[in-house]
Amino acid sequence: MPSTKAVDLAAHPLTTWQGPLGLPDFTRIGDGDFSGVFDAALKAHETEIEAISGNAETPTVENTLAALELGGEALDHVSSIFWCRAGAHTNEAIQALEREISPKMSRHFSAISMNERLFARIDDLYQRRETLKLDAETLRVLEKTWKGFVRSGAKLDAEGKKRLASINEELSSLGTTFGQNLLADERDWALFLDEADLAGLPEFLKSAMAEAAEMRGQKGRYAVTLSRSIYEPFSTFSERRDLREIAFRAFTMRGQNGGATDNTTVVRDMLRLRAEKAKLLGYASFAALKLDDTMAKTPEAVHTLLDPVWEKALEKAASDQTELQRLAAEAGSNEKFAAWDWRFYQEKLRAEKFAFDEAELKPYLQLDRVIDACFDVATRLFGITFEEKKGIATWHPDARVFVVRNADGSERGLFLADYFARPSKRSGAWMSALKSGYKLGHGSKPVIYNIMNFAKPPEGEAALLSVDEAKTLFHEFGHALHGMLTDVTWPSVAGTSVSRDFVELPSQLYEHWLTVPAVLEKHALHVKTGKPMPKALVDKMLAARTFGAGFATVEFTASALVDMAYHARPDAPNQPLRFEAETLEKLDMPDTIAMRHRTPQFGHIFSGDGYSAGYYSYMWSEVLDADAFAAFEETGDPFNPALAERLRKNVYAAGGSKDAEELYTAFRGKMPSPEAMMVKRGLV
Ligand SMILES: [Zn+2]
């Protein structure tokens, strides 16, 4: 029975953090502790919110905005440890707790955003903001907070609030239905093959298909399924054109097969509700609502980026197709080149042009050396250093602890890293914070962590990485730097608290330093001989990066443009699929390439609204990172000190303390243009 009385938040190891280096004492935390501490911490936060909203004094920054930002400390502490455990080292007890805690948290925070007395105080400050003599960061935090309330409907009348709540509820349940329909279509379709049908397929794919067949009760056979991890390699390697066609048609029709799992009307209803929501909140379109607090700001700005890329991608894809058709003809095919041929012949071309084996590269990419490279680059660019502390208890013995120091030796914060895969860890790689860094109140030093899923080597052997894994390590470390270098006053704008289309800049940019020659020469050393990677191998690795860019850019950008077309209009189309077809026709979409995500299966934008009117952000970030790295290349020095300092100050240290456009311009002297990204992708 969870009891809130039994928990003393001022003494509990989950909330007081009195272990070594100011970390929680993980040796004193049991799985059974979370539930009671959560309840007590939620209660404590409610009391704090009540005190702020019920305060009889005139609202001030201190008694309202700062009190709101600093409130809920115990809840932050227990949450950060809990979500770390839920991702990096879970078990059945933690999973059960997740199901219990998620709805509690969402009710808690939605009650805060609906708190009318609280909003009245924020609004009072906001209306007087010009006379309060606020510094720029405080003014921005006030404006963001106010906008956050308004976007949750704080300014609507009772009827409007009711309608908004019901729209949100309907959207959330439609989003769930969309995802479940898609899943059902992916689960229910399989093409069962026998040994004789497997021409061209590599071993890893055969074994994945054998397992998929066995799971579907057809042991001894092989299943093509609609999971991307089987569908894509199958269409890349299968010599059987007839089977590739069947798989292609099934894959692109997911969510559009009629019957109970068809997503057509789900999409139509969602688009209608989104348009209505935008109108209710006073925006011209749903895209305008979603883009309001991003770097791009408007659908027009998104088009300024995507349109020129689209032109170049079409040109590149057309010339690539000519080459692929030549290959197909040489291989004796006299059929019209079709969408299910593209990946297959592209792979043939890749093998012909860039024949090299990942296995050749791996011995040069030792995990410990790549970690050193990450640290080394951070030291050269930003002056910070890392010292490992052994023997400190964390959530798992594999996690390592590093003290991060400023150039003058003072402590900046902590970096924790947990590199190896294990059954208790979810897949993927990510960065998060146990604590963010800020100056408000007593201040807080950042405690940032990275989680990876590299294969653990046998005892005594060095872990070796693939190029992609080494890139992932740099990527997540770039996010970690965003957290560790943060230098702001207010918690809500610290570290990675920036807009969706800016947050991948620090991470994607950092990846560029992995392949800087000086870094490879120093750190990419052969595990046995200690010799650096031969130049010829480096060149091949770099050249292979741009291969296939025409296809990849067309399939991605088509999806981004259709997403924007749906959401930038003030109303919703009656027939979304017809609208999709018309939009693609206007774009001159080649019939030999399909959208990466067609409407009935576009989970990014319909399974919840995470990336609705936002699929473009992946490319936006890529434009930023390519343009930002080009700034270094233009100086001829990848570690140019003056530029590195501008980068630190305006990107890695600034969090969301200023508008992203302002930050980027302060670093670069201008807004980015897509040129560098197009060069990086090999489109020009
Ligand atoms: Zn990322």
605-655 pLDDT, tens digit each: 999 888 999 999 989 999 999 999 999 999 999 999 999 999 999 999 999
Enumerate residues 6+ apart whose C-beta is below 8 A from 580. 562, 598, 599
Distance 649 CA to ligand 1 centre (A): 20
Ligand 1 centre to CA of 507 (Å) is 6
Cα distance between residue 249 and residue 435, in whole Å: 48
Distance 504 CA to ligand 1 centre (A): 5
Give the whole-angstrom CA distance, residue 630 versus residue 384.
Answer: 23
Tell me which residues are annotated as active site. 476
Q: Is the pLDDT of residue 386 over 80?
A: yes
Burial of 479 (0-12, 13-18, 19+ CB in 10 A): buried
Kindly report, residue by residue over 186-245, the tens digit of the pLDDT: 889 999 999 999 999 999 899 989 999 999 999 999 999 998 889 999 999 999 999 999
Q: How far apart are the first and last CA of the chain?
A: 64
Annotate 488-515 with b (16+ C-beta within 10 A) or e (fewer): bbbbbbbbbbbbbbbbbbbbbbbbbbbb
Mean pLDDT of 41-61: 98
The residue count for the chain: 684
Predicted model pTM: 0.90
Instruction: Count CB atoms within 10 A of the CB of residue 63.
Output: 16
Average pLDDT, the chain: 94
Higher-pLDDT residue of 423 and 432 is 432
Supply the DSSP symbol for 440: S
Q: What is the mean pLDDT of residues 365-385?
A: 98
Pairing of strands 411-420, 430-435: unpaired
| pLDDT at 401 (0 to 100) | 98
Distance CA 552, CA 546 (A): 10
Give the rounded percent of residues in the chain with a pLDDT score beyond 70.
99
Backbone angles phi, psi at 595, to 5 degrees: -55, 145
Which residues, 6 or more positions from 73, have their beta carbon under 8 angstroms from its beta carbon? 15
CA 363 – CA 360 distance, rounded (Å)? 7
Centre of ligand 1 to C-alpha 110, Å, is: 27
| pLDDT recorded at residue 5 | 54
User: Does the structure show a pLDDT above 80 at 358?
Assistant: no
DSSP state, 56? -
Ligand 1 centroid to Cα of residue 493, in Å, is 18
Distance 480 CA to ligand 1 centre (A): 10
